[in-house]
Structure 1
Amino acid sequence: MSEDADAEDLTHTTDEGDVQMVDVGDKPDTNRRAVAAGEIRLQPSTIEAIRDDQVGKGDVLATARIGAIQAVKHTWETIPMCHQIPITNVDTDFDLREDRIECEVAVETTGKTGCEMEALEGVTTGLNVVWDMVKAVEKDNEGQYPETGIESVRVLEKEKRPEQE
């Protein structure tokens, strides 16, 4: 906590120091959108196997899309102070590069709180699914992953627009 902040400034903590969920009941519903991105570094041979649909576990990107969408829908169950929000749309995009896959997840909702945590959960789970699908070909002779890594996970944008009446 910064020197300027005190207990009154903490939205997830009571005056007694107990953790609490923020009450958003009085906030108006707004249309919200958040976009997050990240990437997974892979060996070029793994990227080629994905492109050629030659990964033993199946269609890597189709499975990763499903995982990303499922993660978005279940964010409130994994992030302790997250509200359950009505997800109105999820867009996933996976871009295969020479030595990595870039993932972008856009989430839309109409509600009282934002959806950037949902977008981040979609990205991280989507990339984790890619790793799980390709781990057999990414391992080195000692069973390690020296070239594999999930990186640069971030929120690219978030926006809020009042509902039209």
Structure 2
Amino acid sequence: MKNVGMKPDSLRSAVAAARFYAPPHCLQRIASRDTEKGDPQASARIAGILAAKRTDELLPLCHPLPIHAAEVHFAIEADHVAIEAEVHTIGPTGVEMEALTAASMAALTLYDMLKPYAEPEELRIGDTHLLEKQGGKSHYPRHLKSPLAATVLMVSTPVANGHKPDAAGQSVVDALGKAGFEPIDYRVLPDDIEQVGDAVDEAVSTGAPLIVTVGGTGIGPKDKVVETVEPRITTPMPGLMEAARAFGTKRTPYAVMSRGVSGFIGSSLAVTFPGSRGGAEETMAALLPSLVHIVEIHQRFARGA
């Protein structure tokens, strides 16, 4: 089963379709809602909704999701019933399978209720497919349309002295590279306010669209990245780090210890990540779609588009 624990929740929806083919006298019974078992449309609708809610029990590798809305619609055509199932959730993965299962179960229910009135060869289910989906990475891109530069500053005296490997900073560099940021100016600095401030100022002067500091956001006596970056911010964007902390606290209560700040310094978006690898990876997972969106919008503004 795929691990979706590092995927942020988002509003997601899917619409799937299926067709139930039957002779005209059967379609008339569906239209008039008259079979010996009762109303075929009402029964198929409820069956489809229930199937959407229990898809994870039917498909062995499907994740359980909270279903916030589900509906099944029918349109009676010349030789078939067109079925559409729509499902909504807020979660870490999509509801395509829930919509497809709902449409399929609705079609099966129509088949079951109409089979006494037709020969087996006269009834058929087909053309089951996904019509649309929204949310997740298809709706909130995690990759730039064109490359943009970034600066990553790993702030840790033990790492700078070679006493500790930089797993956190490298994870940020790798994630940004996969998202299309290029070139990436990666540096390791000691816990020194002046050196960190000079490096941030240099990145801003070169017009780096994104500056990420890693480390120095905790409560230790040497954790002074926040005190270095925050006074330089000209346009605060507190929602970024609020989202990162909210994402992190669902995975570890210690995420609240991060004092990270974010905002524009001139034309550069600066974000301050925690220095642990887990904290950096969780922050990146929570923020990457927003970072991509924000820097692309700001670049369009800068070009006057």
- TM normalised by structure 2 equals 0.44
**Corresponding residue for 2:263?**
none
Q: Which one has a larger percent helix, Structure 1 or Structure 2? A: 2
Structure 2 unaligned segments of length 5 or more: list them: 141-238, 244-305
Q: Aligned equivalents of 2:72 and 2:13: distance in 1?
A: 13
**Corresponding residue for 1:25?**
5
**Corresponding residue for 1:117?**
97
Q: Is the 8 A contact 2:33 2:41 kept in 1?
A: no
Count of aligned positions: 139
2:42 maps to a residue whose letter is A
Structure 1's consecutive aligned runs of 4 or more residues displaced over 6 angstroms after TM superposition are none
Q: Deviations over 1:11-41 (max 9, x none)?
A: xxxxxxxxxx111111110000111001010
Q: Is the 8 A contact 2:47 2:102 kept in 1?
A: yes
**Corresponding residue for 1:77?**
57
2:35 to 55, 79, 83: 55
**Corresponding residue for 1:149?**
124
Identity of aligned residues (%): 37
Q: Which moved more, 1:126-135 or 1:47-56?
A: 47-56
2:31 maps to a residue whose letter is R
Which has more radius of gyration?
Answer: 2
**Corresponding residue for 2:118?**
138
Instruction: Name the SS of the counterpart of 1:54 in structure 2.
Output: coil
Displacement of 1:56 after TM fit?
Answer: 1.2
- TM normalised by structure 1 equals 0.80
2:128 maps to a residue whose letter is V
Displacement of 1:52 after TM fit?
Answer: 2.2
Instruction: Name the SS of the counterpart of 2:70 in structure 1.
Output: strand
RMSD across aligned positions (CA): 1.5
1:108 to 65, 75, 88: 88
**Greater relative contact order, per chain length (Cα 8 Å cut-off, separation 6+):** 1
**Corresponding residue for 1:18?**
none
Instruction: Name the SS of the counterpart of 1:87 in structure 2.
Output: coil
Q: Aligned equivalents of 1:114 and 1:158: distance in 2?
A: 8
